[in-house]
């Protein structure tokens, strides 16, 4: 496969953009080689600058649940565009999308739109702090909530007390207000709460994590978190940026019966345009300006073109049967990968829900970040490279989820599974 043109474009990009990319994972650092420069997408397919075609399971990292350049989205965007790209004044589109989101996800009394998932996470934390008058938050190692200072903290070697910044430029002061626990470990959260009585504003989690690979939560863990937050007056924030409108119509919270106080959204809610949202309990959301004292604002928030793309997406996915059809594809893919691994005697753990999938080269189901890091990521790299050579585009990292769209057809899946057979043979070459 010739990727000369992509290599040239990457060289050129690096002269003007840090690392040649506008979001780090795009640089292919953890899988080696040059990133592919994409020229266009259609349906389940991506086309790179050298004219190579790939079945795409990244889907712009989640938003493209209808596939690339879906005609229904394009029509809605064109119509909105013709009326103007931005007004900095309210439009009916924002209210309509807010009403749709509220209809779909129970428990959202008020919703505020922003332009990214990171922005939604940052705002939700501020609101939780403003509402409770407390400073500290608890997050889970391996859960990602965007490039937000206070959230760029994870556990080093199982440390679960004070946060250590994960990024240069995050001050120790900010990190010190972020407490860490391991995912699926309620006892650690209980201990943190006991050590910091009346000082914890929020617990934030991905109820089904997808940023350390895909991980399933224990039912008792989620129940325990809800009870703890109720008892201690802590705001429970469910980050549905990845899972919302993706693992099922009502997101991870609907699937798992979790009732958060606040939820944050992104990705699918914008149908491929920059949209994030946060919302939840009325008494908490009433703290947001101009109703209340917590300031949060955005010049392009609720952008009409982006709202139109989100509405067009939600209209399709709320039709009966949409998620059953999507999940049947995820099941076929993950069952096929598992079978291909078995043929090579490779231990593989697979998971899926709705249109989200994940797998680890590991002996046992992966329950937290430490276990995720202990999985055989070198095998993933070999598998990834072999799949790419066969024309299948997976996430360029062992610790990301995969996404299937409405546009993925029988032929695309059959092609993917044939490629997976060959790629597992390559992965099997990597020593244990």
Q: Which residues bind ligand PLP (CB under 6 A)?
A: 116-118, 121, 144-146, 206, 210-211, 239, 241-242, 266, 276
Phi first, then psi, for residue 366 (nearest 5°) are -90, 125
Given the residues 54, 57, 144, 369, the one annotated as active site: 144
Given the residues 56, 70, 177, 239, the one annotated as active site: 239
Output the smallest distance, CB 250 to ligand PLP, in A: 16
Output the smallest distance, CB 215 to ligand PLP, in A: 12
N-to-C CA span, the chain = 29
Please state, in angstroms and rounded to a whole number, the distance separating the CA atoms of residues 179 and 144: 14
Please state, in angstroms and rounded to a whole number, the distance separating the CA atoms of residues 268 and 240: 10
Which residue lies nearer to ligand PLP by CB, 24 or 233? Answer: 24
Output the smallest distance, CB 112 to ligand PLP, in A: 15
Which residue lies nearer to ligand PLP by CB, 247 or 392? Answer: 247
Token code pair at residue 154: 């994870």
- Is 109 catalytic? The answer is no
Residue 329 · residue 407 · CB < 8 Å: no
Which residue lies nearer to ligand PLP by CB, 26 or 72? Answer: 26
- Is 218 catalytic? The answer is no
Of 413, 388, 303, the closest CA to residue 33 belongs to 388
Which residue lies nearer to ligand PLP by CB, 6 or 211? Answer: 211
Which residue lies nearer to ligand PLP by CB, 121 or 427? Answer: 121
Element (H, E) at 47: strand 45-48
Which residue lies nearer to ligand PLP by CB, 55 or 143? Answer: 143
- Surface-to-core class of residue 18, CB atoms within 10 Å of its CB (0-12 exposed, 13-18 middle, 19+ buried): exposed
Output the smallest distance, CB 145 to ligand PLP, in A: 5
- Surface-to-core class of residue 21, CB atoms within 10 Å of its CB (0-12 exposed, 13-18 middle, 19+ buried): middle
Which contacts qualify for 129-134: CB closer than 8 Å, 24 or more apart?
A: 129/201, 129/202, 130/287, 130/292, 130/293, 130/294, 131/201, 131/235, 131/283, 131/284, 131/287, 131/294, 132/201, 132/202, 132/233, 132/234, 132/235, 134/198, 134/199, 134/200, 134/201
Given the residues 136, 154, 267, 287, the one annotated as active site: 267
Which residue lies nearer to ligand PLP by CB, 49 or 326? Answer: 326
Strands (E), 52-167: 53-56, 110-114, 136-140
Output the smallest distance, CB 61 to ligand PLP, in A: 6
Output the smallest distance, CB 415 to ligand PLP, in A: 27
Please state, in angstroms and rounded to a whole number, the distance separating the CA atoms of residues 206 and 223: 14
Token code pair at residue 382: 């070999």
Output the smallest distance, CB 253 to ligand PLP, in A: 13
Phi first, then psi, for residue 87 (nearest 5°) are -125, -20
- Is 267 catalytic? The answer is yes
Catalytic residues: 144, 239, 267
């Amino acid at each position: 496969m010739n990727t000369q043109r992509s290599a040239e474009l990457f060289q050129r990009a690096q002269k003007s953009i840090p690392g040649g990319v506008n979001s780090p994972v795009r640089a292919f650092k953890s899988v080696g080689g040059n990133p592919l420069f994409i020229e266009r997408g259609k349906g389940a397919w991506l086309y790179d600058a050298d004219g190579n075609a790939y079945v795409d399971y990244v889907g712009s990292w989640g938003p493209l649940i209808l596939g690339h350049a879906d005609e229904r989205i394009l029509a809605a965007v064109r119509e909105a565009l013709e009326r103007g790209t931005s007004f900095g004044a309210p439009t009916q589109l924002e209210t309509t999308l807010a009403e749709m989101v509220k209809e779909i996800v129970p428990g959202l009394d008020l919703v505020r739109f922003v332009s990214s998932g990171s922005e939604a996470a940052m705002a939700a934390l501020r609101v939780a702090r403003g509402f409770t008058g407390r400073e500290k938050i608890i997050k889970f190692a391996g859960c990602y909530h965007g490039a937000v200072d206070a959230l760029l903290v994870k556990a080093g070697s199982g440390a679960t007390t004070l946060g250590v910044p994960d990024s240069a430029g995050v001050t120790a002061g900010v990190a010190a207000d972020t407490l860490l626990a391991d995912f699926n470990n309620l006892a650690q959260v209980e201990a943190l709460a006991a050590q910091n009585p009346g000082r914890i504003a929020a617990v934030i989690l991905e109820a089904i994590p997808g940023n350390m690979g895909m991980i399933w939560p224990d039912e008792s863990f989620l129940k325990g978190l809800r009870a703890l937050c109720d008892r201690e007056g802590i705001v429970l924030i469910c980050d549905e940026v990845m899972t919302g409108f993706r693992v099922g119509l009502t997101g991870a919270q609907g699937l798992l019966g979790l009732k958060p106080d606040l939820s944050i959204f992104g990705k699918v809610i914008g149908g491929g345009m920059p949209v994030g949202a946060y919302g939840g309990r009325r008494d908490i959301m009433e703290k947001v300006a101009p109703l209340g004292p917590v300031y949060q604002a955005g010049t392009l928030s609720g952008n009409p073109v982006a709202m139109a793309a989100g509405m067009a997406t939600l209209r399709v996915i709320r039709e009966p049967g949409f998620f059953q059809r999507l999940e049947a594809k995820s099941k076929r893919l993950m069952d096929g990968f598992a079978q291909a691994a078995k043929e090579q005697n490779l231990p593989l753990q697979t998971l899926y829900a709705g249109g989200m999938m994940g797998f680890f080269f590991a002996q046992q189901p992966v329950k937290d970040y430490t276990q995720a890091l202990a999985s055989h990521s070198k095998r993933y790299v070999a598998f990834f490279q072999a799949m790419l050579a066969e024309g299948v585009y997976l996430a360029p990292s062992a610790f990301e989820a995969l996404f299937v769209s409405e546009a993925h057809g029988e032929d695309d899946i059959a092609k993917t599974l044939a490629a997976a057979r060959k790629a597992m043979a390559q992965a099997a070459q990597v020593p244990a």
